Structure 1
Amino acid sequence: MPDTQLLTYEPAPGQAPARARGEAPASIELPLPDMSSGAPLMKALSLRSSTREFSGDDLPPATLGALLWAAGGVNRSATGGRTAPSAHAFNEIDLYAVLPNGVYRYDPASHRLVLKHASDARNLTGYQDFVSEAPLDLVYVVNTSRLLQMPLQQRDIFSAVAAGAMAQNVALYCASEGLGNVVRGWINHRLLADALKLNEDELPILAQTVGALGTKLSSLAD
């Protein structure tokens, strides 16, 4: 049997975040999602796909609020339950929105974005060219300090499952609203952690680019 052929990636050259575009408020209050909007679930499933060509148009606040809520917002106020599952409700995945005007962390309890720092770090969320052109790159970050009560051998598995569930929620929301998205695992973990100014117990494990479809893809969809 021949040796398994593995993909090899060249390390990315040293990069730095770009200057933030526009103002970067300390927090951004997000509109609550319209529960009656979008395509039905089965239709959204039939339309779910990955795209790699995006318009650079900014996402409207209502769209940004809805997709972040879909990813991991509170859908049961009495218990604080989320839209995506987490083993033992540890909720160890923090969601970061990397926008042209800054890096923000999504706070599900208050349904708002909290500024981490004012810079355009989209170019550091992956190796592909389109990551710096699309209006939004989501980064899924494991807060390992919340997993200390979980057996060590289960932590990587369950946190990966939780991040995947959140990313699929976003993908289905995008399909239901005619947006493009692609989930990306090809990231420089250390470079991205530095760009997001994470602590040592925080690890970015997944990224997802979201935006309106590019001109070519939009015409095909029509």
Structure 2
Amino acid sequence: MTTLTKLALGMMGKLRPQPALGNSDALITLPQPDRKAGLPLMQALAKRQSGRDYKPDALPMELLSGLLWAACGVNRADGGRTAPSALNAQEIDIFVALPAGAYRYNASSHRLHLVAGADLRRVTGYQDFVDTAPLDLVFVANYPRMGLVPAAQREAYAHVAAGAITQNVYLFAASTGLATVIRAWIDRSAIADALGLTHDQQVLLSQTVGYPTDTS
């Protein structure tokens, strides 16, 4: 679907998901991430960049596991995460839009929980490449978790936390030969409706991840 078509549908409130491709498993238990995989940090930083051309090939489950763990997984026995969160509110939920459905990542159990049995990829952004890339991440602020943060500062804090997570995704992608790009030009209302979000949850950003078409 073209960008202009998406814009028009969005203005009419008619940007909708497509039927799921394949089986929408209610629960996906991810394998343990390989914490020794990928390039050293300085080499990953040297390769960090945004990419907008993707192969449609699905990521192996092991790679998806490492991606989500790097984004905001549990990296300590006390439940601490790979990304910071003010006052440890952990207000950011990561949703994964796959061809077979949309899932919420549970970092504590390292599992994916089905929230929508439809293909939400084209809803996650106006750019045409989001429709066929293997997955799109959506970062959602869950404000009830931020009770210790002054109300006037919650949105700013949430954006900072989401930014840290997206950079983790960038570094993982650079380290493992994937492409990624963060996107703020999105139809937040359409995404919220598709994910079944409540009034106190806010869509902040989306991020596409996949194999680059140009591997030279």
TM-score where L is the length of structure 2: 0.94
Equivalent residue, structure 2, for 1:183: 182
**Identity, % of aligned pairs?**
50
CA deviation after TM superposition for structure 1 residue 200, in Å: 1.3
Please give the alpha-carbon distance, in whole angstroms, between the structure 1 residues aligned to 2:61 and 2:67: 10
Equivalent residue, structure 1, for 2:62: 62
Moved over 4 A (4+): none
Q: How many residue pairs align between the two structures?
A: 207
Task: Give the AA of the match of 2:15.
Answer: Q
Please give the alpha-carbon distance, in whole angstroms, between the structure 2 residues aligned to 1:15 and 1:199: 19
CA deviation after TM superposition for structure 1 residue 33, in Å: 1.1
Equivalent residue, structure 2, for 1:20: 20
State the structure with more CA Rg.
Answer: 1
Q: Compared with structure 1, are the counterparts of its residues 192 and 12 closer, same or farther at alpha carbon in structure 2 (3 Å cutoff)?
A: farther
| 1:50-199 aligned within 5 A | 50-77=50-77, 79-199=78-198
Task: Give the AA of the match of 2:26.
Answer: A
Is the contact made by 1:54 and 1:211 (CA closer than 8 Å) also made in structure 2? yes
Please give the alpha-carbon distance, in whole angstroms, between the structure 2 residues aligned to 1:12 and 1:144: 30
Is the contact made by 1:12 and 1:127 (CA closer than 8 Å) also made in structure 2? no
Task: Give the AA of the match of 1:105.
Answer: R
Please give the alpha-carbon distance, in whole angstroms, between the structure 1 residues aligned to 2:187 and 2:83: 25
CA deviation after TM superposition for structure 1 residue 148, in Å: 2.5
Unaligned runs of 5+ in 1: 1-9
Is the contact made by 1:53 and 1:213 (CA closer than 8 Å) also made in structure 2? yes
Unaligned runs of 5+ in 2: 1-5
Task: Give the AA of the match of 1:94.
Answer: D
CA deviation after TM superposition for structure 1 residue 112, in Å: 0.6
Please give the alpha-carbon distance, in whole angstroms, between the structure 2 residues aligned to 1:74 and 1:12: 41
Q: Compared with structure 1, are the counterparts of its residues 145 and 12 closer, same or farther at alpha carbon in structure 2 (3 Å cutoff)?
A: farther
Please give the alpha-carbon distance, in whole angstroms, between the structure 2 residues aligned to 1:148 and 1:194: 25
